[in-house]
Copies of this chain bind each other. A is one copy, B any other.
């Protein structure tokens, strides 16, 4: 009963969004009144799942190197000169008892962190938890310069100190709710949804909280996350790289560095795929699945991406690779948004994906 009450309160909070206008020049965020903020999501599941027994869990970093900077700080009492470590990638893991052969490495997309794969905005179980319960070890990353993987503050402080010009600041962006609406394919325009949409829109406020500012446009290519993923795959001696959106292409870029340790690739709604006319040999070395949701062909941002990825997958198959592109409606799932792992049918899609991995990667290894 108590859990149900918490849940109801949480859902009430979710739909009570308040928009406050502030000047863009305000730093960080406006002053918060010193009273309790309203908590808006449940602190435990509405319905307790079955107990889960794990063998081990923890976290570590992959990659990273030291740089010297003389603009580390513009805060009082803190030295500006020193050494920091950058380009490392945070990884957390959970290993179930009697884990299956290949762990799944989860790679989030643009403006997001590994939170994407955890509890959904409406409080249901996320894919990371679900995969472990299905016997797969998971390794979940925060992309370099985002979440728990540090960015380098030197350029910002350098501008504040007057050492460099404002236009040397890195390209940075946060996705506004209105733009994210079409990017996440909730509907044709904000705030109009597609009729068959599977995303739990009543909890959209909880998704907006997941969004973080993103420096990826300013990072070198390939993103430092890519060589880190390659190193992780080799360290794990075999893993399925499962990626999403802006991170969608990273497993392919990692395979171009080395195919070692990449047991298979599952790219969920990648924004870009490798060129179909490039060197395809790395992609013939492991099973590949590219997945898109619904309403793709009618979304101007997404239709060309789908077509380009289809051309890539067709070219890999023609070159002898085991590569497949699936639009979810083709296999019976209707109405999926870009945020497949958070849609109302997310666990049904997960079952389908895990079955594909079982048949095409684990059984064929």
Chain A residues within 8 Å of B, Cβ to Cβ: 6, 17-22, 24-45, 48-49, 51-76, 78-79, 81-88, 90-93, 95, 97, 113-115, 118-119, 123, 125-126, 129, 139, 142, 144-145, 147-160, 162-164, 166-179, 205-206, 208-215, 217-220, 222, 224, 226-228, 230-232, 234-236, 257-258
Contacts and interface: CB of A to CB of B under 8 A. Distances in A.
Given A43-B235, A82-B178, A173 B75 contact: yes
A28 B152 contact: yes
Contacts of A149: 212
B177 A169 contact: no
Contact of A119 (B22, B41, B58, B212): B58
How many of these chains are in the complex? Answer: 2
B72 A173 contact: yes
Given A19-B83, A78-B217, 18 more contacts: A20-B67, A20-B68, A24-B71, A25-B164, A26-B152, A30-B220, A32-B224, A37-B228, A42-B60, A59-B126, A64-B205, A64-B209, A75-B172, A148-B212, A150-B211, A150-B213, A151-B212, A159-B169
Nearest to A159: B166
B84 A177 contact: yes
A34 B178 contact: no
B235 A58 contact: no
Contact of A168 (B25, B54, B95, B144): B25
Contacts of A75: 171-173, 214, 217-218
A173 B79 CA distance: 9
A114 B148 contact: yes
A68 B37 contact: no
